[in-house]
Amino acid sequence: MKKTVKRYKVFLLLALANIIIGLVVPEIGERSLDLTRVNLMEMLSVLPPIFVLLGLLDVWVDRATMIRYTGKGSGFKGVLISFLLGSAAAGPLYAAFPVAGVMMKKGSSLTNIFIFIGAWSTTKIPMLTFEAASLGLPFTLTRLALSIVGITTIALITQKSLNDQQKEQLYKLHQTQ
41 vs 75 by CB, closer to other proteins: 41
Q: Which is nearer to other proteins, 74 or 111 (CB)?
A: 111
Shortest spacing between CB 14 and other proteins, in angstroms = 4
Distance separating alpha carbons of residues 150 and 168, to the nearest angstrom: 26
Which of 29/81 has CB closer to other proteins?
29
Distance in angstroms (rounded) separating the CA atoms of residues 147 and 152: 8
Contact assessment for residue 78 and residue 103, using Cβ atoms and an 8 Å cutoff: no
CA distance 91 to 97: 11
For residue 108, the number of C-alpha atoms closer than 13 Å in the C-beta half-sphere is 28
* Shortest Å distance, C-beta 23 to other proteins: 14
Q: Minimal distance in Å, beta carbon 172 to other proteins?
A: 11
CB proximity list for 76: less than 8 A, separation 6 or greater: none
Which C-beta is closer to other proteins: that of 70 or that of 122? Answer: 122
Contacting residues for 92 by C-beta, under 8 A, at least 6 apart: 43, 46
CB of 107 to other proteins, least distance (A): 15
